[in-house]
Amino acid sequence: MKSEPVFQIVGNTVAQWTENSPLIWTMQEQKRKSGLQQDPITCDLTSLQSGYEQEFLLAMKDVLIAYRHRVRLRSIATVISNLRMLLHRVQSTGFDGKARIRQIDSVFIVALHAIKEVVPPSNLTSLRQLHSLHGSDERLFDSTLQKGDFPVRQSKRGNLGTKIHQILAKALQRSTLVHILDTMETAFEEGRIDLGRYSLIRLALNIFCRPDSYRQLTLMDLRVDEHPQSGAINYFLNVIPVKSRVHNPSKLLYPLHPEVGKLLALQRSAVVEKFGHLAPQGDAGVDLGRLALFPSLRLTQDGSWASSYAITHSGMNTSKFAATYLDPIRKLTNTELTFTALRHTIGTQLAQMGCSAHTIQAVLKHATASTCGIYVDIAFEGLIDTLSDGLKPGFDEHFPVITMFASKHDSIPVERRIVSEDLETGRFETTAVCGREVACSFAPIVCYACPRFIPCYDADHSINFDVVDREIKTSEHRGLAMQHDVQRWKTIRNHIRLIVSACETKRLAVGTEFGANLASQK
C-alpha cells in the first residue's frame, strides 16, 4: 500500500517524507515574492541504520530539520554530509561489537579520539556544534558529556595563522589581475568568450560581491541616470546581499564605473534580444525587467529554458552559476580565480589603507565585523613582520594590493608630483605621487604598473585612460605592424582600470569612515 506523505513546516521551508521511509526527506523553500529561492535538498540517513538505533537517527533528523531556523538549506546539506561521514567512520571501528549505537556517550567519544587524525576537521566541527546546540537532548547525547570532551583537530598554524594562510592562498597578485583582464579582453574581441562572461568579470572586479548576488541580478537592477543639464550618464546596480542573516534583505545600490555600466547595458540588450521571448507576464504585460542579467544558457530545441529552475525564476541559474560563467574564465586565463579570491584581495587592501574592521564589513557587506578583523590583524598587529620564515615570502609574493594612497589636495613636492595632462582636451590634474625622490620622465602613463606609484584616490584618472584609449585606436588603424603596440597599450589600460577600481574603493571606505565618525559624534 502506498504510504501517505508527511509534511513539516519550518519557517518558510517544507520538509516532506513518507511513513515508510522516515529517514529520507526533502526540504524545499516556499516561493518568495522577491529574491533567490534556494535549491531544494534531499537528506538521507538510511545508510546508518545498520549501526545506529532508529530512535537516535529520528532524533538527529528532527534537529537537522530545525536547523532551518538558523542556516541555509545548502548548509544543512553540508552538515548532514559531515555527520554521516563521521558516524560511518566510528561505526566501522567496531568498538561496541555488533550492538547498534543508541546514543553518543563516553565510549563513542573514546572511539572518536582514536580516529580523529583521519577524520576531516569539518566532520568533527559539525558534531561539536550539534552538541553545543542540542547537548541536552538525551535521545542524542549522554547528559554527562561536556563541550571539551569532543575532539578537534587544530592546525599547527593556530586559528589565526590558518585564516591568514587561507587569505594568502587565494589572494591574487596585481600582475595576475592584469593578465586576467588582458586575456579576457583579447578573447572577447576575438569572439572566444561571450559578452555575458566578459561583463561579469569586469563587474566582479568593480564591486566584489558573492556569486549568489551576481546570479540574482535582473535586467531591472541596472539603473542608468542621465543628468538633465550636463547630459552626463551615471550607472548604478541594485544588488541583493547574501549571508546577511536577513531572510529577505533589501537591495543595495552600487555606483558603477562608466565602462562597466556600458558593458552591463550592452549585456542587458543582448539578454532581451536572445531571451526576451521567455520573459514572464506581469500585471501590464510582458515583464522584461524580471529576466536574469546573467541567465542560464541551456535552452531546449524549441528555444525555451531547459532547466525547471530557470523557468520558475525567469532565467536565473541554479547553484551551478560558477560553472556556467566563471569556469570558462578560469580555463581561458589558466588561473584559480574565484569570487572569494577577489574579496580577499579587496579586504586586505582596505586594511592596508587603514580602514577598521567595521568599514571593511560595510564595503564587503559581511553580516558581522569578526571576519573582517582578520584583515585588520594582518595589517595592524605586526603580523606582516612576525610571520614565519616559511610564510613571509608567500605573503610578499601574493600580496596584491596598493598599500599607499595620496590625495590631490596634499602638499606634494614638485619633483615627486605626477601631473596628468590631455593635450587634446586641455584637461590636467595631479593624479599621483612618485615613490622615488624624483619622478621619472616616463610619467604618468607607465606609472600605473610601477610598484613605487602612489595614486591620488580622489583624482580623475580617466584623463590617462582617455589618452591610452586614443593610442589604442590610432595603433589599430595602422594595421598589423602596430599590433604589438596595441597589446602594450591595452595592458597599460588594464593597469589603469585596476588603479581606478582601487581608488573608487578607497573613496567608498573614506566615506564610510566619515559617516561612522559623524554618527558617533551625534
State the Cα torsion 16-17-22-27 to the nearest 10°: -40
Does 453 have pLDDT greater than 90?
no
How many other C-beta atoms can be found within 10 angstroms of the C-beta atom of residue 506?
Answer: 22
Q: Tell me the C-alpha distance between 490 and 487, whole Å.
A: 5
83 grid coordinates: 555527520
Backbone angles phi, psi at 417, to 5 degrees: -80, 130
Q: Residue 49's Cα: distance from chain center in Å?
A: 39
What is the identity of the amino acid at 204?
A: A
Does 317 have pLDDT greater than 70?
yes
What is the structure's pLDDT at 61?
93
What is the structure's pLDDT at 60?
93
Give me the mean pLDDT over the 121-142 stretch: 90
Q: Tell me the C-alpha distance between 422 and 362, whole Å.
A: 36
Closest CA to 128 of 154, 143, 110, 146: 146
Burial class (CB in 10 A: 0-12, 13-18, 19+), 162: middle
Q: In this predicted model, what pLDDT tens digit does every residue of 177-218 receive, in sequence order?
A: 888 889 999 999 999 999 999 999 999 888 888 888 899 899
Give me the mean pLDDT over the 391-409 stretch: 55
Question: Range with the lowest mean pLDDT among 204-218, 233-247, 454-468?
Answer: 233-247
Does 116 have pLDDT greater than 60?
yes
Segment holding 22, helix H or strand E: strand 21-29
Tell me which range, 294-298, 487-491, 497-501, is most confidently predicted by mean pLDDT.
294-298
Closest CA to 316 of 328, 327, 305: 305
Q: For the chain, give the mean pLDDT.
A: 80
Share of residues in the chain with pLDDT > 90 (%): 25
Does 273 have pLDDT greater than 90?
yes
Does 121 have pLDDT greater than 60?
yes
Could you tell me the strand order of the sheet in which 222-226 lies?
222-226, 233-239, 252-256
What is the identity of the amino acid at 464?
A: N
Does 130 have pLDDT greater than 60?
yes
pLDDT band at 361 (very low <50, low <70, confident <90, very high): low
Its pTM surpasses 0.85: no
pLDDT band at 276 (very low <50, low <70, confident <90, very high): very high
Q: Tell me the C-alpha distance between 266 and 111, whole Å.
A: 60
pLDDT band at 55 (very low <50, low <70, confident <90, very high): very high
**Cβ proximity of 407 and 353 under 8 Å:** no
Q: Tell me the C-alpha distance between 195 and 270, whole Å.
A: 8
Does 132 have pLDDT greater than 70?
yes
The stretches of 229-279 forming alpha helices (DSSP H) are 258-275
Tell me which range, 36-50, 187-201, 417-431, 474-488, is most confidently predicted by mean pLDDT.
187-201
Q: Tell me the C-alpha distance between 363 and 509, whole Å.
A: 7
pLDDT band at 384 (very low <50, low <70, confident <90, very high): very low
E-assigned strands of 400-511?
417-422, 427-434, 453-455
34 grid coordinates: 522577491
Q: Tell me the C-alpha distance between 152 and 120, whole Å.
A: 10
Does 156 have pLDDT greater than 90?
no
The stretches of 447-482 forming alpha helices (DSSP H) are 462-477
